[in-house]
Amino acid sequence: MTKSVKYALLGCGMMGLEHVKNIALIEGAQVVAVVEPNLEMRERAKQLLADVSFYDDLAALIKHPQLDAIVVVTPNYQHAEQLLYILQHSDLAVLIEKPIVTDVAQIAAIKQAADAHSAPIWVAMEYRYMPVINQFRQSVAAAEIGPVKMLTICEHRFPFLYKVGDWNRFNQNTGGTLVEKCCHFFDLMR
């Protein structure tokens, strides 16, 4: 028997809609609750999600009955405060989009709350699951390409995808380029 996992989404913009599509591919998984303050994004989410409860804030969302996990898909600068709230007011498993924090001053409180939380907490680092990256890692592990002595990563993509309110175009919202984009490359090299 397949276990049913009921998800809530905090944020359902561009990345939130990606999570909706991916969750739909998992047998037994279901999005049952969403917070999305932007009306245009909320309408897009409603087109993909049937029988979903929409809430206006995080406090109401985590009180939704029978939740198993919450996916945090909000702008970077909101992550730390929202994660702290979730960890302090629920025992839900959490998948949070990177980065967890945009200011190093937030780390200690997050670490303390995470250490006391009973359910898993994951940070979404999607690049490590890309097929080309998996193939590269397998080739390195199988010694098909020789030992790695140096690694250079170059990403070819459009800068600044459109996000609600253009929040992603300002360092104070993203944490800066090293936090917003290069965290993927640091993760891959690690």
Query: In the chain, which residues have pLDDT < 70?
Result: 1, 156-162, 164, 166-171, 173, 178
Same domain, 74 and 28: yes
Same domain, 81 and 48: yes
Same domain, 48 and 101: yes
| Domain closes at, from 126, 154, 175 | 126
CA gap 9, 7 in Å, rounded: 7
Predicted structure pTM score: 0.86
CA gap 33, 17 in Å, rounded: 13
Query: Which residue carries 């629920």 as its tokens?
Result: 90
Same domain, 144 and 169: yes
Q: Residue 15 belongs to what domain range? A: 5-126
Count: domains in the chain: 2
pLDDT per position as a tens digit, 93-115 = 999 999 999 999 999 999 999 99
Same domain, 131 and 185: yes
Spatial CA neighbour of 73 closest among 6, 15, 160: 15
